[in-house]
Chain A
Amino acid sequence: AQSVTQPDIHITVSEGASLELRCNYSYGATPYLFWYVQSPGQGLQLLLKYFSGDTLVQGIKGFEAEFKRSQSSFNLRKPSVHWSDAAEYFCAVGREYGNKLVFGAGTILRVKS
């Protein structure tokens, strides 16, 4: 069965600083990986996804993520954080065949000015 670990419950960064949110997954076959963001009172919005090919994936709002099979990781990065990026971020893994996603517990990002 798949599982996702987001080791950091909370992260605080200064506006303009770089950001890296960690995600580790457990799945024996080819993982399909996603990052979603949830602003307060809102549903989840897809930032980016990885299925195959280039291991560095570009997403919306200036985010990118890198798939590292050897480390079972799919970390999310942004070179310069904006105050509007404050939200909760979820990593998720899906199977090659199937229609279910398994989500991590989320990381709450706080941005200080």
Chain B
Amino acid sequence: ETGVTQTPRHLVMGMTNKKSLKCEQHLGHNAMYWYKQSAKKPLELMFVYNFKEQTENNSVPSRFSPECPNSSHLFLHLHTLQPEDSALYLCASRHGQASTDTQYFGPGTRLTVL
């Protein structure tokens, strides 16, 4: 799948660092998502944006700060993370809000917090 790209693919950061994850979709979709995938746990929905507006924040700690400047780009700003935040962070996009619309996923960013 090249419709949704994520950078970087791997990131190692200390607990005092500030970094950002980037997601870009080339599918003309209007909704974008951030998920967290930890080992042996189901995917956890973090944030949902529809037409650049945040419509869902799934009780995510404030050390994660999303930004959606336009329908094609989604960022996740990270600061003062904890080791338990180490995970694969997946971005997804979707055409609209119909439940029949498919979510398309990017390859993810593997984050390690030291």
Contacts and interface: CB of A to CB of B under 8 A. Distances in A.
B42 interface: yes
A101 B103 contact: yes
A79 B103 CA distance: 27
Interface stretch (A16-24, A37-45, A63-71): A37-45
A108 to B, nearest CB: 10
Nearest to A94: B99
Contacts of A57: none
A22 B29 CA distance: 31
Interface stretch (B43-51, B60-68, B72-80): B43-51
Interface of A: 4, 9, 32, 34, 36, 41-46, 49, 51, 90, 94-106
Contacts of A105: 40-42
Interface of B: 1, 4, 6, 31, 40-43, 45, 48, 50, 55-56, 90, 92, 94, 97, 99-108
Contact of B99 (A44, A90, A99): A99
A44 B94 contact: no
Given A99-B48, A105-B41, A43 B4 contact: yes
B90 A99 contact: no
Contacts of B106: 43
Contacts of B42: 4, 102-106
Given A41-B107, A43-B4, A43-B106, A100 B56 contact: yes
- Most chain A beta-carbon neighbours within 10 Å: one of B6, B43, B56: B43
25 contacts: A32-B99, A32-B100, A43-B1, A43-B4, A43-B105, A43-B107, A44-B92, A45-B1, A46-B103, A49-B100, A51-B100, A94-B99, A95-B99, A96-B99, A97-B99, A98-B99, A99-B31, A99-B48, A99-B97, A101-B45, A101-B103, A102-B42, A103-B42, A104-B42, A105-B42
Nearest to A6: B42
A39 to B, nearest CB: 10
Contacts of B45: 100-101
